Chain A
Amino acid sequence: MPLILATSFAELKDIFLMQGFAGFSLFAVFLLMALGLAIIFGQMKVINMAHGEFLTVGAYVTVFLSHMVTDHAPKMLPYYFPVAIVCAFVVAFILGYIVEIGLVKYLYNRPLDTLLATWGLSMILQQACRSIFGAREDTATLPDWMMGSWSPSEGLDIPINGMFLLALAIVMVVLVYFLMYRSRWGLKVRATMQNRAMAGAVGINTKSVDRITFALGCGLAGIAGAAFTTIGSVSPSAGSLYIVDTFIVVVFGGAASLLGTVLSAFTIAQSQSILEFFLTGVLAKIFVLVGVIIILMIRPQGLIASKVRK
């Protein structure tokens, strides 16, 4: 009897570990998506419903590059992925820059209106993807080194693409942290977002700060898109599937807090993937969402938020 218990306990531990690592991939995607949104929504208070489409754009850039490489330079296949990440970032960044100039800059004081306008934008971007790339799902050819899995012990399989995603997410978080909280430019951004008039008065070019901040958030979504191709296939509506989750991650973390975003992405991804083992995927998602909503009611300011004098 104790023996049976012991084996099943060991199995349970393995299950937890495996589901835990599966959760890490989900965590990485959530985190990459949420990073951009934490800047755009958390700092700029723009409700960008088209954020998912920037992911789609980044993913298509990667897929396109992978086709180019397999068709024309198959030898380069092991190395193209880092280039694809940079390209995804650049394309999404430029697109975001244009969107800021053409649309978002007129709506800074009307947060709920940004929601409607960017919903319109997301329809346009989705249809554009459909017209250019077709409605069919498409996949990127992954370099060999990203396939397969790593088994540190028997019964444990950790997929390499998952680890790669996690590493990428961590690198991006560190980069964003230094950019936003340790650099001169980040100081300008935070000053502008907290008091646009005052920042302008002390000589900050707030318009340029707005443009670049928004574009940066979009660029990060582009990177998330590139990362997304390692775990799934791309379709024009791929990004929109994640938009609700991403907003929940950012809101749950406490809109303006980077640490909060990381913690909340981790909590949501892990509880979802561990619950998934016991329930169906959909039920797990419902449970997690309901839990998040209840916690948000108890702490409306999110996980990490400082008490302030208002």
Chain B
Amino acid sequence: MHTLYNRALGGKSGTVGLALLCIVLFLVFPLSLDNFRLNMMSKYLSYAFVAVGLVLCWGNGGILSLGQGLFWGFGGYCMAAFLKLEAAHNIAAESGSDQIRALTTVGLPDFMDWNQITSLPYIWYPFKSFPLTIILVFLVPTLLAYIIGTAMFKRRVGGVYFALITQALCWIMEISFVTRQGWTGGINGITDLRTCLGWDIRTKSAQITLYFLTSIFLIACILVGRFILSIKLGRILVAMRDGEDRVRFSGYSVSKLKTFIFCVAAAMSAMGGALFVLNVGFMSPKLVTIEPSIYMVIFCAVGGRNSLIGAVYGAILVSYGKTYFSEMFPNLWYFLMGGVFILVTRFFPDGLAGAVDRFGPMLGKKIFSMIGRAQQNFPAVVPVTIEANEGH
């Protein structure tokens, strides 16, 4: 039990950070945000899955992927395919009007109709089953990451080259999805998703439930990440980042370990993508191309590339900032966002988490000493202050 406390929760400071995050996610946001904003928050949190994965493979393992949108997208598209088939069935069945029935083919997504596809393509068949879909949500992106990882890392493609190649792959995926309109919905993506196993995901209560579901899964991902970093694998990751050759000559297969962590990050991203679709009700190739993939890296950089929890705050803050600025200052927000990235990389390479580590203790002490001074007039409470100081 003690080792579990140290490992998954990361000891005392780790537990405090996690507890704070739980409070923010499970109390502060649900109580303070209206339904629309809460749903938006679910969207931001679904990006945070990618950032958490990037902390593992980039921050700790030194593998920068600019193509995480690929995995997030495949996870999302798998989920969207399932929901779309369900929607396609229901629309035709529910509709009383013969006209609509004549226009639509039962069980065929609307965009296939528009593209003169008359029967369901075979690759859509597995998405008729929910369990199979859930398996594919994880399997497809992880398998893809495995193939990319094995191919690249075996050939010792790393660093900048890996980043650029993953970026190109991401772009390839986007244009293939756009051009295969009949199978993927083209540039519009898969839209108008309504129910999941008969449960209407557009209702207010469903959105709140989904928000909590997203938060729980995110916390689970952080715990998995914490576990990986706490065991030997975590130290090997850092070791590979700082001295790949030494690890190789300590008898490890660097390519296998890199592939493994890359797959873990991909699986986490895929989970985020699938939850995004459930929360938002659509999926589009615009969300998985080069630009969003770079944003995902930036979430991680702003939050702190070494901090799993920081990555979550990074995702929330940058996404929120993006939405807020682009609403308030449509002409200025590019300047603001660009400026933030420059400042963060220039002055805070460890992001928010680094800033908290650096200034947090000082700030904490100041607050405690202020409380202490205030309480000097009330001697009875002094022991509490001492405890708090020691605790720090």
Contact = CB atoms under 8 A, between A and B. Distances in A.
In the complex they form, do A and B come into direct contact, defined as C-beta atoms under 8 angstroms apart?
yes
Q: Name which of A47, A107, A300 has the most chain B CB atoms within 10 A of its CB.
A: A300
Contacts of A111: 159-160
B157 A296 contact: yes
Contacts of A106: 346
Interface in B339-353: 339-342, 344-346, 349
A112 to B, nearest CB: 5
A286 B341 contact: no
B335 A124 contact: yes
Chief secondary structure at chain B's binding surface: helix
Chief secondary structure at chain A's binding surface: helix
Interface string A124-157: 1011101100000000000000000000000000
B168 A127 contact: no
B283 interface: no
B311 to A, nearest CB: 14
B169 A244 contact: no
A296 B161 contact: yes
Contacts of B167: 244, 247
What size tier do the contact residues of chain B reach? 35 or more
A280 interface: yes
A247 to B, nearest CB: 5
Interface string B325-362: 00000011011011111101110010000000000000
Interface stretch (A57-65, A113-121, A225-233): A113-121
Contacts of B331: 127, 131
Contacts of A47: 160, 163-164
Given A47-B160, A283-B179, A127 B338 contact: yes
Contacts of A51: none
A176 interface: no
Interface string A251-283: 100000000000000000000000000001011
Contact of A112 (B160, B169, B171, B332): B160
Given A117-B345, A297-B152, A247 B164 contact: yes
B342 A121 contact: yes
B301 A116 contact: yes
Nearest to B151: A297
A282 B175 contact: yes
B156 A286 contact: no
Interface in B61-110: 64, 66
Interface string A89-117: 00000000000000100110011110111
B132 interface: no
A198 B220 CA distance: 50
B157 A116 contact: no
Nearest to B158: A300
Interface in A16-30: none
A289 B345 CA distance: 30
B293 to A, nearest CB: 11
B64 A112 contact: yes
B290 interface: yes
Interface in B162-183: 163-165, 167-169, 171-172, 175-176, 178-179
Given A122-B338, A126-B334, A300-B155, A248 B168 contact: yes
A298 interface: yes
Contacts of A41: 160
B346 A107 contact: yes
Nearest to B156: A300
B345 to A, nearest CB: 4
Nearest to A122: B338
A282 B187 CA distance: 14
B69 to A, nearest CB: 14
B290 A116 contact: no
Given A116-B341, A297-B157, A127 B335 contact: yes
A293 B170 CA distance: 12
B288 to A, nearest CB: 15
B297 interface: yes
Contacts of A120: 337-342, 345
Closest CB pairs A-B (n = 10): A120-B341, A127-B334, A123-B338, A124-B338, A120-B338, A117-B345, A120-B342, A113-B345, A123-B334, A297-B155
Interface of B: 64, 66, 151-152, 155-157, 159-161, 163-165, 167-169, 171-172, 175-176, 178-179, 290, 294, 297-298, 301, 331-332, 334-335, 337-342, 344-346, 349
Interface of A: 41, 45, 47, 103, 106-107, 110-113, 115-117, 119-124, 126-128, 130-131, 244, 247-248, 251, 280, 282-283, 285-286, 289-290, 292-293, 296-298, 300
29 contacts: A47-B164, A107-B345, A110-B349, A111-B159, A112-B64, A113-B345, A113-B349, A116-B298, A116-B341, A119-B298, A119-B341, A120-B342, A123-B337, A124-B342, A127-B331, A127-B332, A127-B334, A127-B338, A128-B335, A247-B164, A282-B175, A282-B179, A289-B171, A289-B172, A293-B165, A293-B168, A293-B169, A297-B155, A300-B161
